[in-house]
Amino acid sequence: MTELSKPPYELVDFSQIEGVACPCGIARRAFTEVDDFPATVHVTEISTNAQTHYHKTLTETYFFLECNEDAKMQLNDELISVKPGMSIMIRPGTHHRAIGKMKVLIMVLPKFDPEDEYLV
């Protein structure tokens, strides 16, 4: 398919994407192979506490879809209570982890690169 004949959209069904283990839990990552889209979109399920990690170049924006009442995000040394409908943009270099059971939609810019994930 040539550049001119590409469809005007990309459609993804997250239920058809295989989950992969990550420091946060299980992630389903979409649009990884779409050259003309500068990001990836993840649906991540966090069953307990995620591992603290950071990225040197990636910016992540978490949108909380579901979470327990006691759910929190640790951003460097700060703990922030979160609930469905909230969103947090996490800049490169910020140590972060999710605390508690939750399901989040994560927009990653530029595209997710597993080489840019550093455990603390």
Average pLDDT over the chain, rounded to an integer: 94
pLDDT of residue 66: 97
Better pLDDT: 5 or 114: 114
Averaged pLDDT, 23-43: 96
Better pLDDT: 5 or 111: 111
pLDDT band, residue 5 (cuts 50/70/90): confident
DSSP string, 50-79: PPPEE-SS-EEEEEEEEE-TT-EEEETTEE
- For CA atoms 54, 55, 59, 62, give the dihedral sign: negative
- Specify the CATH architecture of the domain 19-112: Sandwich (2.60)
pLDDT of residue 49: 73
For residue range 43-102, what is the model confidence (pLDDT) as tens digits? Answer: 999 988 789 999 999 999 999 999 999 999 999 999 999 999 999 999 999 999 999 999
How many whole angstroms separate alpha carbon 62 and alpha carbon 107? Answer: 7
pLDDT of residue 2: 55
pLDDT of residue 102: 96
Domain ranges for the chain, please list them. Answer: 19-112
